[in-house]
């Protein structure tokens, strides 16, 4: 990933800091309700995708932190995880194609559990400092498309009013950051910012100029 994305990563980190501040505020106001603590890995089994800017950032930090055998071992784990997710998504697609209700299938997928390739043997995240936004806010009330979500291990009670992070607004900001990145690097894939990439795929993918659709000099 030779393309310089530092300016874009700085903007992404600003969004991360904002969401961290929201999490810290909720945790301070509701210390008994927020369960998040070391080695609580519930969110590390949740299935979710990254936007392009998140995937590029995670891969950049991954390559800076790991090398040699450690890197190769994690990529091998990520590859196996990605194959599992690909099969699950293919099966879900086939169910919808066969007539199943799409919302029911989405709900079913949200209940599936797959271990994150970055979850270490000691039940600690191997890239905690660079973890995606979804991981950072998992333990507080959030909403997506008008539907509220809470971690099953928290003490928040469904139906009661709590400060809730609107993830639609966060996703919009991530999409805008991704779109600006695609524009600035001159990618021929003008809709690349719409991509959603699992953590496992982000780790195994070589985000080189060919992948990003950037025309090489000469």
Q: pTM for this one?
A: 0.90
Strand order in the sheet with 165-166: 147-149, 142-144, 165-166
In this predicted structure, what is the pLDDT of residue 36? 86
Helix axes 52-65, 167-184, angle to 10 degrees: 80
The residue ranges of every structural domain in the chain are 6-202
Tokens of 182: 């695609």
- Distance between CA atoms of residues 114 and 105, nearest Å: 17
Q: What is the pLDDT along the chain (218 residues), one digit of tens a residue?
A: 568 999 999 999 999 999 999 999 999 999 999 988 887 888 899 989 999 999 999 999 999 999 999 999 999 999 999 999 999 888 888 888 888 888 777 777 767 889 999 999 999 999 999 999 999 999 999 998 888 888 888 888 877 889 999 999 999 999 999 999 999 999 999 999 999 999 999 999 999 999 999 976 65
In the beta sheet, which residues pair with residue 165?
142
- Distance between CA atoms of residues 103 and 109, nearest Å: 10
Say how many residues make up the chain: 218
- Half-sphere exposure at residue 197, Cβ-oriented, CA atoms within 13 angstroms: 27
């Amino acid at each position: 990933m030779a393309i310089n994305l530092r300016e874009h990563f700085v903007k992404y980190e600003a969004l991360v800091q904002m969401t961290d501040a929201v999490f810290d505020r909720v945790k301070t106001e509701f210390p008994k309700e927020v369960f998040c603590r070391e080695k609580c890995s519930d969110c590390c089994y949740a299935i979710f995708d990254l936007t392009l800017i998140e995937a590029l950032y995670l891969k950049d930090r991954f390559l800076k932190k790991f090398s040699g055998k450690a890197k190769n071992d994690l990529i091998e784990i990520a590859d196996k995880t990605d194959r599992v997710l690909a099969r699950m998504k293919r099966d879900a697609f086939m169910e919808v194609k066969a007539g199943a209700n799409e919302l029911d299938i989405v709900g079913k997928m949200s209940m599936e559990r797959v271990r994150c390739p970055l979850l270490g043997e000691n039940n600690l995240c191997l890239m905690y400092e660079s973890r995606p936004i979804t991981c950072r806010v998992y333990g507080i009330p959030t909403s997506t498309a008008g539907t509220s979500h809470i971690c099953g291990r928290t003490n928040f009670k469904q139906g009661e009013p709590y400060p809730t992070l609107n993830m639609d607004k966060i996703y919009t900001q991530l999409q805008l950051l991704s779109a600006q990145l695609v524009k600035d690097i001159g990618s021929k894939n003008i809709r690349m910012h719409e991509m959603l990439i699992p953590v496992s795929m982000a780790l195994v993918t070589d985000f080189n100029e060919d992948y990003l659709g950037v025309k090489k000099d000469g």
